[in-house]
Chain A
Amino acid sequence: EADIYQTPRYLVIGTGKKITLECSQTMGHDKMYWYQQDPGMELHLIHYSYGVNSTEKGDLSSESTVSRIRTEHFPLTLESARPSHTSQYLCASSPRTLPGQGTTNYGYTFGSGTRLTVV
């Protein structure tokens, strides 16, 4: 089973509230990612991190922010939730490709997701 944990599993919250979605992994992976996915649709990368104190925005513009203070923890925060934020949020991690392993790549390990509903 995946050693990456997301909480909460489901969240229903009112418009304007601040929320933090938690993501933790116990595999020591350097790279972590946040994806947004509407039901039955493709995944959109919204944030990623290559290590502690490294965070970048992804392809999909998002009003959320992330932090990476510890290797194992990559929380996502929405300062003011809106109905347009209603979606599933998936966290994933992968090992870093080491020098000399130019042709090596690894699969991602995903958490179970947080289904967010903003009313």
Chain B
Amino acid sequence: SQQGEEDPQALSIQEGENATMNCSYKTSINNLQWYRQNSGRGLVHLILIRSNEREKHSGRLRVTLDTSKKSSSLLITASRAADTASYFCATAPNAGNMLTFGGGTRLMVKP
């Protein structure tokens, strides 16, 4: 069964707007990761946030983690058409354990 579930399943925005995607999970985790997948391609690792961290930034990406609510959010600021992709969260219960992926959010950024 899925550990992580993304919300919304699909999101359509205009270029320049911010995009926010959420991920909820069920059991305790060591870390949570976000990946991007362009259509028909493999996944690309974007960012990892550990359970003792609350927020992390990487370029236009901002990830937050609330372990009390078992949820995370990915914010993409000033979106571009090239950001159009599916975004997946993945969790690991312990360091070194395998990741469990959610169902993804399909983001479309219109030029």
A residues apposed to B, CB below 8 Å: 2, 6, 33, 35, 40-43, 45, 48, 88, 90, 92, 96-97, 101-113, 115
Contacts and interface: CB of A to CB of B under 8 A. Distances in A.
B88 to A, nearest CB: 7
B102 A105 contact: no
A102 B92 CA distance: 12
Contact of B43 (A48, A96, A103, A108): A108
A63 B57 CA distance: 41
Interface of A is mostly: loop
B44 A105 contact: no
B48 interface: yes
Contact of A97 (B35, B48, B88, B95): B95
A115 B35 CA distance: 20
B98 A48 contact: yes
Nearest to A97: B96
A97 B106 CA distance: 31
Interface string B2-34: 100000000000000000000000000011010
Nearest to B101: A43
Nearest to B34: A107
Nearest to B9: A40
Contacts of A90: 42-43
Contact of A42 (B44, B96, B98, B103): B103
Contacts of B31: 105
Nearest to B32: A105
A105 B43 contact: no
A59 to B, nearest CB: 8
Given A43-B101, A107-B33, A96 B96 contact: yes
Given A42-B101, A42-B103, 14 more contacts: A6-B42, A35-B101, A40-B86, A40-B104, A43-B88, A48-B98, A88-B40, A92-B42, A92-B43, A96-B96, A101-B95, A103-B30, A107-B35, A112-B42
